[in-house]
Amino acid sequence: MTEIDAKIDALVPSWLTLPDVAENLGVEVTRVRQLVREGQLIAVRRGENNTLQVPAEFIGEGKVVKGLTGTLTLLKDDGFSDEEALEWLFTPDPSLPGTPAQALRENRGTEVKRRAQALAV
């Protein structure tokens, strides 16, 4: 396990496998893979079997949390890798308060996007 993997494991409270995400969203696993490919969700390999998993906080009430896709696009445009984006989303930000991932779940996406835009150089 790399240093960044250990850091992400410490920051992200719970994970879902792709079949679990599909079940929560009411779609086929192939659709979840497409969401990951399109950058609408981040999945990283983890665990004993090195399976693709998505942070559970990204899924709420049968859909991808509102504002997540736009935030991921901004972070990617800023040059963030998936791992760096996860680290940013799950690191507490006293100005929010809480983590950007929590703020998205609480429908405070505008604040999160503003901070993500501020990261751009």
Q: What is the pLDDT of residues 30-79, one digit of tens each?
A: 999 999 999 999 999 988 889 999 999 999 989 999 999 999 999 999 99
Structural domain boundaries enclosing 10? 3-119
pLDDT in tens, 68-121: 999 999 999 999 999 999 999 999 999 899 999 999 999 999 999 999 998 875
> Which of the four pLDDT bands, split at 50, 70 and 90, describes residue 4?
low
Confidence of residue 7 (pLDDT cuts 50, 70, 90): confident
Q: Give the pTM.
A: 0.92
At 42 the pLDDT is 96
How many domains, in total, are found in the chain?
1
Q: Where do we find the tokens 């991932």?
A: 101
CA angle 94, 40, 73 (to 5 degrees): 60
Q: What is the pLDDT of residue 121?
A: 59
Name which of 77, 57, 63 is nearest 119 in CA terms. Answer: 77
The two tokens of residue 95 are 């100005």
Q: What pLDDT is attached to residue 26?
A: 97
Question: Are the beta carbons of 102 and 79 closer than 8 angstroms?
Answer: no
Please list, residue by residue across 60-95, b when 16 or more beta carbons sit within 10 angstroms of its beta carbon and e when fewer do: eeeebbebbbebbebbeebebebeebbbbbbeebee
Q: Is the pLDDT of residue 12 over 90?
A: yes
Residue with tokens 């996406």: 109
Does the pLDDT of residue 3 top 80, yes or no? no
Q: What is the pLDDT of residue 1?
A: 62
Residue type, 23: E
